[in-house]
Amino acid sequence: MVQIEQDILAKNNAYADANRKEWKARGLFAANLVSSPGSGKTTLLVETIGRLAGRHPLAVIEGDQQTSNDAERIRATGAQAIQVNTGKGCHLDAHMVGHAFERLDLAQGGLLLIENVGNLVCPAEFDLGEAHKVVILSVTEGEDKPLKYPNMFAASDLMLLTKVDLLPHLDFDVAKCLDYARRVNPKIEVLQVSAKSGEGMDGWLAWLEQGVAAAKH
């Protein structure tokens, strides 16, 4: 018999700790954006980058199983972006992200936005070294997603409810959705935003700016 007593994710967690240490030394604020496919993460990022208008050094790591479409959309804004293709994998891991980061040239005190693979299951378990996970849920999805994918909502510090400009056309029950999210995570912060109409974007930018300011030293 061999006693092991080792966390299955120990290896990933060690890489995540190394990333966290590296980013802390550089005074960077890193956020890991997670959601289902099609929630509008990339659109939201493009709009966010536009509104930040070069106020902070910024870089994006894009995770998708295939293609570099998303990184190209980000680069079109003028921001630097690295695409990571996970191939058969359904999530980014801390090792891939650490390597992608090495290829970026992000100045001290900057903002690192990591767009994870669209998947509400596995990315919940993989720490990348980020300061916060931000879960994005669009109002065109079901309001019970926090109950269906509780681990992701439990692992996230902020929930962005997106595409709220569409609410008048939908039966989406916002209050119910927030109640479900708080059942799995009583501490989760929530912001309602629309990249299209601009509603709530100020609050989201303020949240990012606060993170950037806190990470600087």
Partner 1 sequence: MSLAEGVLQIIEDHARTNGFARVKTVWLEIGALSGVETESMRFCFDAVTRGSVAEGAALEIVAVPGSSWCMQCGVSVPVAERYDPCPRCGGYQLQVQGGTEMRVKELEVE
Interface residue list for partner 1 (CB under 8 A): 1-12, 88-91, 93, 121-122, 124-126, 146-147, 150-151, 154, 180, 182-184, 186
Whichever of 3 and 105 has its CB closer to partner 1, that residue is: 3
The minimum distance between CB 90 and partner 1, in angstroms, equals 8
Can you name the residues that pair with 191 across neighbouring β-strands? Answer: 160
The minimum distance between CB 144 and partner 1, in angstroms, equals 9
The rounded distance, in Å, linking the Cα atoms of 140 and 166 is 8
How far CA 169 is from CA of 33, 140, 206, in Å, comes to: 26, 10, 28
Whichever of 4 and 53 has its CB closer to partner 1, that residue is: 4
Query: Reading across the β-sheet that carries 80-85, which strands appear in turn?
Result: 80-85, 58-64, 111-115, 29-35, 132-138, 158-162, 189-192
The minimum distance between CB 133 and partner 1, in angstroms, equals 13
The minimum distance between CB 186 and partner 1, in angstroms, equals 5
* Contact between 126 and 93 (Cβ < 8 Å): yes
Whichever of 50 and 150 has its CB closer to partner 1, that residue is: 150
The minimum distance between CB 12 and partner 1, in angstroms, equals 7
Whichever of 92 and 208 has its CB closer to partner 1, that residue is: 92
Residue 204: HSE in the Cβ half-sphere, 13 Å Cα cutoff: 25
Token pair recorded at residue 147? 């109950």
* Distance of alpha carbon 54 from the chain centroid: 20
The rounded distance, in Å, linking the Cα atoms of 87 and 5 is 30
The minimum distance between CB 94 and partner 1, in angstroms, equals 12
Whichever of 138 and 185 has its CB closer to partner 1, that residue is: 185
Whichever of 50 and 89 has its CB closer to partner 1, that residue is: 89
